[in-house]
A = this chain, B = another copy of it.
Amino acid sequence: VRKGERTRGRIVERAAGVFNCNGYAGASVSAIMAATGLQKGGIYRHFGSKEQLAGEAYAWAAARMRERFAAALAERRHVGDRLHAIVDVFEGVVTDPPVEGGCPVLSAAAESDYGVSPVREQVRETMRELRELVRVVVAAGVGRGELRPETEPEDVATVVVAAAEGGILLSQLYEDSAYVRQVAAHLHDYIDARLVKRDAMGGTDDRNGNA
């Protein structure tokens, strides 16, 4: 069963873009047929319903987001670098979207706000992960003395995620990355203000660690 698995993966991938671009209610199976080049039968062989496909498509999109954060944190050790890297990932979502249609978490979360959404629980979990990601980094930073002791990890997590998603929302609405960049600049300052300056003289601005 190898060809089937590849087809299934392709469906999930393409459907993720369709759902992300049109919303669950606005995405028709016909549109997914067109995006995949398959017919109804070819899709419903792999998924029992539109709802199930939406769930897997969202999961795929969320995984793409996770990969970006994982890659960004992979070689960063200092808390400041790691936090700045996280903000950079959010900023990058606008100019180089992991899924067609922009940030899948934002799209799905907004549609989940009103009424019931088949992926609501998944979105909550993803958003929880996002906040947890920041919270853990901040908590570790406080523990290691890299961040000021009064810094509240929960607060920082909420502020970073909320502001970043808000910035993405503005940029996607106007198709102009300037907004998310303004927000990112603010968040970078916000982070720096909470860093414990170890060496006031030998400090570096190179947050990307490039020599």
Interface size class of A (residues with CB under 8 A): 35 or more
How often does this chain occur in the complex, in copies?
4
**Are A162 and B161 in touch, CB under 8 angstroms?**
no
**Contacting pair B179 A162 (CB below 8 A):** yes
Contact of A166 among B112, B114, B162, B182 (CB under 8 A): B162
Which residue on B lies nearest to A111, using beta carbons? B23
Cα-based distance from A169 to B159 in the complex (angstroms) = 12
> Do B159 and A182 have beta carbons less than 8 Å apart?
yes
Instruction: Say if the beta carbon of A164 comes within 8 Å of chain B.
Output: yes
Hey, which bits of chain A sit against chain B, CB under 8 A?
20-26, 101-102, 106-107, 109-115, 123-124, 127, 154-155, 158-159, 161-167, 169-170, 172-174, 179-180, 182-183, 185-186
